[in-house]
Structure 1
Amino acid sequence: MPRRRPPMTPPRRGPRPLPLHLGLALLRGMGAVLSLDPVSGMPLSPASPSWSGAWPVSRAGRQEMQRIAGALAAGGHPPEQFRAAVLRRLARQDRALIAGLAAYRRHPARRRAPSLPVLWQEGDSRLLDYGGEGPPLLVVPSLVNRAYVMDLAPGHSMLRALAEGGAAGGGSRVLLLDWGWPDEAARGFTLTDYIAGRLERALAAPALRPLGPVALLGYCMGGLLALAAALRRPERLRGLALLATPWDFHAGGGEAQARALALAALLPGLEPVLEAHGTLPVDLIQTLFAGLDPWGVAAKFRAFAAMDPASERAHLFVALEDWLNDGVPLAAPVAREALGGWYGRNETAALRWRVAGAAVDPAALALPSFVAVPGADRIVPPASAMALAARLPGPRVLPVPAGHIGMAAGGRAEAVLWRPLREWLAGL
């Protein structure tokens, strides 16, 4: 009898949205070509009227092109050699990008989700129990990404590390609020519904009562939700930890403020989608994130093409990309509050953000607090998170030499975040 073939693993869809990232890579290449004089093949002068058309080439890239062109001219090489060299390099980069995308999409690694006890559930939101022998810690993730970034893979799980403790103990009873997918009811939720509703009801779950006061930990957007809940229900808590949590969305002015206002300006154009779907869809959220670093996705997949697919580094890359592409849509009212209120009007820093009618003011927090500020964060600029630390009364502030995701799941996360966070929790 012929041997039956094992079922094929379906290819991945990411990086999402794929046409956007391919289009950005094409745009970057076109920009490089447009920055060359069509007659001589040499880089155009910055004074040239066509120079502004080459915006996808960075300032450093244009300076490098000028330097190489000068060296070619000094060596007596024909100018058309420079154009040919640019085109060859673009072709190599395009081949590397396609190879990296193909290697990722066919990589055999897949997440094997652990089965965890569910202590409470409402709609698609669940309170998951990661165990541990210490005092309770309830972790609140963002609404726009899957919660398992903090339990990404063996050796890269902040939740399991906090539950187990270190060599000197200090573990916690770790509980994760997995928001899940917004069901039909949740599509009409505001931030008040999530905070004064689901989050507070999770805190009041009967299974938590015997455990005593809870430490609350919020990550990114989840930090703002956790902060508002802590201000409303301090009697249920023993401390508040905020990781990469934004506060002043216009901090520092300049580029950061311009980017925030640009995001808010997109809201009127997104209204037809919000009305039709009741949510801001995943691919649109991914498109907004891509605007933070338009060329970053192509660069990292070119680098992935050169990795050993069996290496730990490649497996971590795949795990992170799978998580990034496994997004969650955002309820339309929350999208309006976040884009218009937070990014546009900076209501948090202006103390005009209200939950259930009450202003959210960190200065009123009567709990010990911990603020982790990643120094290489593109999503939450350090100045935005430091503004929150400055408003809180006497927080423990930890500068973290990592990025937004690296602080939670990167190779150095144990040393730069998990260990000091665990020590702070043990000292509550």
Structure 2
Amino acid sequence: MAKPPEPPADPAKPAARKPGRPTSPKPPRPVRAKKASASAPTAAPLQDAPTPRAPAPDQAQLIETLSANLAKAAMTAQGALAEAALAQAARTQEPGSAALSPDPFNVAPALTSVMTSLASRPEKLFQAQADLFGRYMDLWASSARQAAGEAPDPAPADKRFKDPAWSENPMFDLMRRSYLLTSDWMNGLIAGVEDVDPAVKRRAQFFTRLLTDAFSPSNFLASNPVALKALAETSGESLVKGMQNFAADMERGAGSLRISQADYGKFVVGENVATAPGQVVWRDELFELIQYAPASETQHQIPLLIFPPWINKFYIMDLQPANSLIRWLSAQGFTVFVCSWVNPDRDKAEYGFDDYLEKGVYRAVEKTLEQTGTDRLNAVGYCIGGTLLGAALAHMAARGDTRVAAATFFAAQHDFAEAGDLLLFTDEHWLAEIERQMDAAGGVLPGAAMADTFNALRANDLIWSFFVSNYLMGKDPPAFDLLFWNADQTRMPKALHMAYLRRMYGENALAEGRFQIGGETVDLSRVTIPLYFQASREDHIAPMNSVYRSARLFGGDVVFTLAGSGHIAGVINPPSARKYKHWTNDALPATLAEWQAGAVEHPGSWWEHWAAWLRPLSGPDIPARDPSKGPLKPIEPAPGAYVKVKS
């Protein structure tokens, strides 16, 4: 190893003396300057070597704070993951536990079929690859023009990339556009596959879309400029808060991630949501019957009984006074009753459609008529509550029961041939998996499982947007009443749920006249009472085409109305909001496309159109009914006890 050079002697200090030899000082020897030659370079004057400048105190503090926060965030995440692993391990050791199979949705065979089809047509695959190369060439040319000073291309209308930071920085702009280009190409490639069973192809499409959505650069801290900006501006505090949110959601899910969609502590059922005045006038093991207080001096003689879905709680129709359908109907002079379903537990595991018909629909009809002293009523069915009501009407028609004078359906399906992406969750492979999970849970489907299914249908809106906001940005979930309700799920009895998935979605038995309920094989065409069907244009749970097909199954006078927005906002849209549009057409042609071609567009809510249809079918005006003065004695104020039971 080479010896390091010794440091030069300090001229201010005398040279070290050797011991034992005295020396006497000598005068300094003069040094003559050498004559510079023409070729010799002139030496630069000696200077002190530059030393690194220490960061300013505030900058050093920022770096130290950032480092500490990054470490804290990492430790918080690691702790949450460790706790989750322990919880999962403990759960698998429990008797009767049901671990999820490696491929519960049977995706691998679907993708294999699609890939086999592509491989059998090399010319099509080559064309797709050439198309991808051409798109990238256009992207690179556009990026080069932008680097030369040209204005960037307009940003796509994608909420994930709406922040200006995505287009202001050329690197993130290129990353965003490259991702959108590739994901669009990949999804288009799967959609263009031929000679594959449509159900198999749809399964491959759905899960390819889930995969491409998951790999969006917006979902990762290192590739999200908005999250990185928040990280820098807060010296890492945003990430610390995000990991604390992550740990809290892992704890809330007992080892499974349950992403918070709302600030659940801001809402209390009966205090600031579900506050319409009324009384529970009947309660049994399956439902509470709520009669709402009048908001007018007179009411229509024929009462209105609403059957909400038992998958969710009824107060979607009574969130806030400004958007409460129940309050609005009361103000229009209708006597409103609502069937508030019990949140079923293991003791209801064997309850099926017959129980919900006899102990649910028929008993609610009986008690409503008893309370109002009338011999008939009008009914409403929302979503799966509408499916049950339609089957009940067919059963009543078979028995000659005329107690329901007219009926309305909100986003309800009876023909499931075109029921959308939910059909993917009724494959026998998945049904066997979900049945095994329900058995492990004691015969009920936990509410969180249903919520996961619905969230997967709109993953960008209901999963990834909150993942980014809550965890990468460290924001608190919003205080949003609708999302609070969306997370307030109910359990599902095994017998009822499996019959619904198999007989309705899997076999389409109700539409085809092969569904048995209450001892009858029911035929919807025998229902001849007036009916009103509402569908929503962007509904991903009850697609508009599916609802339209359902409307055409009945035998009477049917009015079909199409609303803007989706499964919830399309229904819960008060006239005062002046939002969206709706379309009407007195005819009911063979297809929805024909109906739309002849439909008339109207601004705002469809509620007033429905009320105008319902009033002539609701009898004369009578003095308003007081819920506390009927034959059925009040049990407790609305919204009752069943709606407050958590899953």
TM range (shorter): 0.7 to 0.9
Name 1:368's counterpart in structure 2. Answer: 530
Which residue does the alignment assign to 2:389?
A: 226
Q: Please tell me the residue identity of whatever aligns with 1:240.
A: A
Q: Deviations over 1:64-123 (max 9, x none)?
A: 98764442245568xx94698556653536979959978943774544243631121111
Picking from 206, 210, 213, the partner of 2:376 is 213
Partners of 1:281 and 1:67 in 2: CA distance: 49
Whichever residue aligns with residue 122 of structure 1, its letter is D
Alpha carbons of 1:223 and 1:413: their partners in 2 closer, same or farther (altered >3 Å)? Answer: farther
Q: Which residue, 449, 468, 474 being the options, matches 1:284?
A: 449
More deviation, 66-75/233-242: 66-75
Question: Matched residues in 2 for 1:262 and 1:174: separation?
Answer: 35
The separation in 1 between residues aligned to 2:444 and 2:293, in whole angstroms, is 33
Q: TM-score, normalised by structure 1?
A: 0.72
1:130 Cα deviation after fit: 1.2
Q: Partner residue of 1:394?
A: 557
User: Within 2, Cα distance between the matches of 1:269 and 1:117?
Assistant: 41
1:276-355 equivalences in 2 (<5 Å): 276=440, 277-298=442-463, 301=466, 318-355=480-517
Shift of 1:298: 3.8
Q: How many angstroms apart in 2 are the aligned matches of 1:66 and 1:174?
A: 62
| Equivalent residue pairs, number | 354
The answer to whether the Cα contact below 8 Å between 1:69 and 1:82 also exists between their aligned partners in 2 is: no
Contact 2:528 2:557 survives alignment (8 Å)? no
Give, in whole Å, the separation in 2 of the partners of 1:175 and 1:75. 62
Cα contact 2:529–2:557 (8 A) shared by 1? no
Tell me the residue number matched to 2:211. Answer: none
Q: What is the match of residue 142 of structure 2?
A: 71
- Asked whether the equivalents of residues 369 and 396 of structure 1 are also in contact (C-alpha less than 8 Å), the reply is yes
Q: What is the match of residue 290 of structure 2? A: 128
Number of the residue aligned with 2:436: 272
CA displacement, residues 126-179 of structure 1 (integer Å, 9 cap, x when unaligned): 0001133223000001111001101111111111111111xxxxx210000000
Q: Contact 1:110/1:319 (CA < 8 Å) preserved in 2?
A: no
Distance 1:93 1:231 in 2: 55
Asked whether the 8 Å contact 2:286–2:359 carries over to 1, the reply is no
Worse overlay, 378-387 or 338-347: 338-347
Q: Distance in 1 between matches of 2:308 and 2:261?
A: 30
- TM-score scaled by length of structure 2: 0.49
Give the Cα–Cα distance (whole angstroms) in 1 for the partners of residues 394 and 304 of structure 2.
17
Contact 2:303 2:372 in 1 (8 A): no
Assess if the C-alpha contact under 8 Å between 2:511 and 2:553 holds in 1.
Answer: no
Q: In 2, Cα distance between the equivalents of 1:421 and 1:122?
A: 32
Q: Is the 8 A contact 1:146 1:180 kept in 2?
A: no
The Cα of 1:272 is off from its aligned counterpart by 1.9
- SS across alignment from 2:309: coil
1:423 has 2:612 as partner: yes
The answer to whether 1:105 aligns with 2:270 is: no
Which amino acid is the alignment partner of residue 412 of structure 2?
T
| Residues 287, 342 of structure 2: 8 Å contact kept | yes
Contact 2:261 2:484 (8 Å CA) reproduced:
no
Deviation at 1:359, TM superposition (A): 2.5
The match for 1:150 is 317
Equivalent residue for 1:200?
A: 362
2:255 corresponds to:
none
Change (3 A) 1:296 1:240: same
Could you say what secondary structure the match of 1:239 adopts?
Answer: strand
| Aligned residue number for residue 426 of structure 2 | 263
SS of 1:408's equivalent? coil
Give CA-to-partner distance per residue, 1:384-417, whole Å, 9 cap, x none. Answer: 1001111122201111122110123244489423
Q: Report if the CA contact (8 A) 1:123-1:183 is conserved.
A: no
Change in 2 beyond 3 A, CA 1:76/1:401: closer
Find the residue that maps to 2:567 and give its secondary structure.
coil
* Alpha carbons 1:282, 1:328 under 8 Å: kept: yes
Deviation string, structure 1 residues 321-348 (Cα, Å, up to 9, x no partner): 1111001111001111111121111222
Cα displacement (A) at 1:47: 6.7
Does the alignment pair 1:92 with 2:92?
Answer: no
SS of the residue aligned with 2:606? Answer: helix
SS of match in other structure, 1:350: coil
Tell me the alpha carbon deviations over residues 163-221 of structure 1, each in whole angstroms, 9 at most, x when there is no partner.
Answer: 111xxxxx210000000211444221001110122220111116435034110100000
Change (3 A) 1:201 1:262: closer
Pick from 345, 353, 361 the counterpart of residue 191 of structure 1.
Answer: 353
In the alignment, the residues of structure 1 paired with residue 138 and residue 518 of structure 2 have an alpha-carbon distance, to the nearest angstrom, of: 59
Show the counterpart of 2:87.
Answer: none
Looking at both structures, which has the greater relative contact order when contacts are Cα pairs under 8 Å and sequence separation is at least 6? 1
For the 8 Å contact 1:246–1:388, the answer to whether it is kept is yes
Q: Is the 8 A contact 2:260 2:466 kept in 1?
A: no
Distance change in 2, residues 1:361/1:64 (3 Å): farther
Q: Does 1:238 align with 2:405?
A: yes
Query: Which of 395, 403, 413 is residue 566 of structure 2 equivalent to?
Result: 403
Q: Comparing 413-422 with 277-286, which one deviates more in the overlay? A: 413-422
Describe how 1:35-50 pairs up with structure 2 within 5 A.
none
**Higher deviation after alignment, 417-426 or 141-150:** 417-426
Over the residues paired in the alignment, what is the CA RMSD in angstroms? 3.7
2-structure distance, mates of 1:122, 1:148: 19
Percent of aligned pairs sharing the same letter: 22
Shift in Å at residue 300 of structure 1? 5.1
Equivalent pair of 1:136/1:212 in contact (CA under 8 Å): no
> What is the SS of the residue equivalent to 1:145?
coil
| Contact 1:122–1:198 under 8 Å retained in 2 | no
2:329 is the counterpart of 1:162: yes
Query: Do 2:380 and 2:409's aligned partners in 1 also have CA atoms closer than 8 Å?
Result: yes
- The reply to whether residue 383 of structure 1 matches residue 545 of structure 2 is yes
- For residue 490 of structure 2, give the secondary structure of its aligned residue in structure 1: coil
Give the letter aligned to residue 606 of structure 2: L
Unpaired stretches in structure 2, ≥5 consecutive residues: 1-83, 85-123, 149-169, 177-216, 231-237, 247-258, 582-603, 618-647
AA in 1 matched with 2:226: R
Letter in 2 for 1:242: F
